[in-house]
A and B are shown apart, each in its own frame.
Chain A
Amino acid sequence: MSEQHSDPRMSPTTANSPDPQDNSQEAQPTAYGSVQAVIERLRASLPAEILVTDRTSLRTYECDGLLHYRVIPALVVLARDAEHVRTAVAACAAERVPFVARGSGTGLSGGALPHADGVLIVTSQLREIRSVSPEDQRAVVDPGVINLQVSEAARPLGYYFAPDPSSQQICSVGGNVAENSGGAHCLKYGFTTTHVLAVDLVTPEGEQVTLGTTAPDAPGYDLLGAVVGSEGTLGVATSVTVRLTRTPEDVRTLLAGFRSVEDAGAATSAIIGSGIVPAAIEMMDALAIEAAEAAVSCGYPAGAGAVLVVEVDGPTEEVEQEFALIEEHCRANGSFEQRVAVDDAERAAVWRGRKSAFAAVGRISPDYIVQDGVIPRTALSQVLRRIEELSAERGVRVANVFHAGDGNLHPLVLFDDSVEGQGEQAEEVSGAILDLCLEHGGSITGEHGVGSDKAKHMPKMFTATDLDTQQMVRCAFDPAGIANPGKVYPTPRLCGERPGRRAEPHPAQAAGLAEVF
Chain B
Amino acid sequence: MAALDGIAADLREATDADAVDGVRPSVVACPTTEDEVSEVLAAAAADRLTVTVRGAGSKLSWGMPPASCDLVLDLSELDEVIEHQPGDLIVSARAGTPLSRVQQVVAEHGQRLAIDELVPGTTVGGLIATNLSGPLRMAAGGVRDLVIGVTVARADGALARSGGKVVKNVAGYDMAKLIIGSFGTLAVVTQAYFRLHPIPAAQQWLTIEAPSAGEAADLLAKAVHSQGVPSAVEISAAPGQPATVAVLLAGTERGVEARIGRIRELLGPSCQPADLGAARLPEGGIRLKLTSKLSAVAEVTQAAVDLGFSVRGSAGAGILHAAADNIDLPHALARLREATAAAGGAAVVLDAPTDLKRTVDVWGPVGGLEIMRRVKDQFDPDHRLSPGRFVGGI
Question: Which A residues fall within an 8 A CB radius of B?
Answer: 133-138, 158, 179-180, 182, 186, 190-191, 193-194, 203, 209-226, 228-230, 246-249, 269, 272-273, 275-277, 314-315, 317-318, 320-322, 374-378, 403, 406-408, 441-450, 454, 458, 461-463, 465-477, 479, 488-489, 498-503, 505, 510, 515-517
Task: Check if B171 sits within 8 Å of A445, measured CB to CB.
Answer: yes
Is B177 interfacial (CB-CB < 8 Å)? yes
A448 CB contacts on chain B under 8 angstroms: 170
Task: Check if A226 sits within 8 Å of B177, measured CB to CB.
Answer: yes
Q: Indicate whether A137 sits within 8 Å of B110 (C-beta atoms), given known contacts A216-B319, A226-B173, A488-B172.
A: no
A228 CB contacts on chain B under 8 angstroms: 174
Task: Check if A374 sits within 8 Å of B2, measured CB to CB.
Answer: no
Task: Check if B171 sits within 8 Å of A461, measured CB to CB.
Answer: yes
Task: Check if A501 sits within 8 Å of B295, measured CB to CB.
Answer: no
Question: Nearest Cβ distance between residue B48 and chain A, in whole angstroms?
Answer: 7
In this complex, the member of A186, A406, A468 whose beta carbon has the largest number of chain B beta carbons within 10 angstroms is: A406
Main DSSP-derived SS at the A contact region: loop
What total count of A-B pairs have CB within 8 Å?
303
Question: Nearest Cβ distance between residue B100 and chain A, in whole angstroms?
Answer: 22
Question: Nearest Cβ distance between residue B373 and chain A, in whole angstroms?
Answer: 9
Is B10 interfacial (CB-CB < 8 Å)? no
- Other-chain residue from A214, A223, A450 in contact with B344 (beta carbon distance below 8 A): A214
Q: Indicate whether A275 sits within 8 Å of B171 (C-beta atoms), given known contacts A407-B166, A442-B164.
A: no
How far, in angstroms, from A458 to B165 measured CA to CA in the complex?
A: 16
Some 8 contacts from A to B, beta carbons below 8 A apart, are A193-B144, A229-B174, A272-B87, A407-B166, A465-B160, A479-B374, A499-B154, A516-B46
Q: Indicate whether A210 sits within 8 Å of B156 (C-beta atoms), given known contacts A223-B372, A470-B172.
A: no
A209 CB contacts on chain B under 8 angstroms: 367-368, 370-371
Task: Check if B173 sits within 8 Å of A230, measured CB to CB.
Answer: yes
Is B364 interfacial (CB-CB < 8 Å)? yes
Task: Check if A441 sits within 8 Å of B372, measured CB to CB.
Answer: no
A461 CB contacts on chain B under 8 angstroms: 164, 171-172
Is B22 interfacial (CB-CB < 8 Å)? no
Task: Check if A473 sits within 8 Å of B178, measured CB to CB.
Answer: yes
Instruction: Kindly supply a per-residue 1/0 record for chain B positions 252-273, scoring 1 wherever the CB is within 8 Å of any chain A CB and 0 otherwise.
Output: 1011001100100000000000
Task: Check if B371 sits within 8 Å of A203, measured CB to CB.
Answer: yes
How far, in angstroms, from A475 to B376 measured CA to CA in the complex?
A: 11
Nearest A residue to B365 by beta-carbon distance?
Answer: A219
Question: Nearest Cβ distance between residue A185 and chain B, in whole angstroms?
Answer: 12
The 3 closest A-B pairs by CB, nearest first: A225-B177, A214-B344, A215-B345
Nearest A residue to B83 by beta-carbon distance?
Answer: A441
B225 CB contacts on chain A under 8 angstroms: 134-135, 158, 246
B160 CB contacts on chain A under 8 angstroms: 463, 465-466, 468-470
Assuming A321-B251, A445-B169, what are 8 further A-B pairs, CB within 8 angstroms?
Answer: A217-B319, A220-B368, A222-B178, A225-B144, A446-B168, A449-B170, A462-B162, A467-B172
